[in-house]
């Protein structure tokens, strides 16, 4: 009886281990294809992104924002309060560095964004 209880306990522990280790975190996106707000380190990887730019500069521009907080209805009412950096551009391509310390990145009318390849480490400070 005692051996049976130990086997059952071992099987239960194995099942828990398999369940816990079977849950994998989703991979972060390195491409942003639609307008919206994306959480850094949750939805997208930090890094330097290059955007296609606005489809038609004559009718509007690309507006992007790096945010230190995503505004909720109960927060301070001025949306500009939550902006770390932003830009409105009509030129192509558009480049922005999204830092790991940013909370979110918002994009409107910028086309697709793609994470630029990391620059190789030269091993020097210069």
The DSSP symbol for 20 reads H
Q: pTM of the prediction?
A: 0.73
* Predicted local confidence at residue 59, as pLDDT: 76
* Predicted local confidence at residue 55, as pLDDT: 83
* Predicted local confidence at residue 11, as pLDDT: 45
**Sign of the four-CA dihedral 39, 44, 50, 56:** negative
pLDDT in tens, 8-47: 444 444 444 333 444 456 799 999 999 999 999 999 999 9
Residue 6 pLDDT grade (very low, low, confident, very high; cuts 50, 70, 90)? very low
* Predicted local confidence at residue 119, as pLDDT: 78
Structure tokens at 18: 């398999």
pLDDT in tens, 40-74: 999 999 999 999 998 887 878 999 999 999 999 99
Contacts of 41 (CB under 8 A, 6+ apart): 28, 100
For every residue of 52-117, DSSP letters joined together read ---S-TTT--EEEEEESS---TTS-S-GGGGEEEEEEE-SSSEEEEE-TT--EEEEES---EEEPP
Rounded average pLDDT over 71-82: 91
Rounded average pLDDT over 83-92: 95
Which residue would you say has higher pLDDT here, 20 or 108?
108
């Amino acid at each position: 009886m005692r051996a049976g209880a130990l086997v059952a306990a071992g099987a239960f522990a194995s099942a828990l281990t398999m369940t816990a280790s079977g849950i994998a975190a989703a991979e972060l996106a390195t491409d942003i294809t639609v307008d919206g707000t994306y959480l850094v380190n949750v939805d997208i990887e930090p890094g330097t992104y290059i955007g296609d730019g606005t489809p038609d500069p004559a009718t509007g521009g690309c507006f992007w924002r790096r945010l230190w907080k995503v505004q909720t209805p109960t927060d301070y009412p001025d949306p500009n309060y939550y902006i770390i950096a932003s830009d409105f551009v009509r030129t192509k391509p558009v480049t922005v560095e999204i830092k790991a310390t940013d909370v979110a990145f918002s994009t409107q009318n910028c086309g697709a964004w793609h994470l630029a390849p990391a620059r190789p480490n030269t091993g020097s400070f210069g």
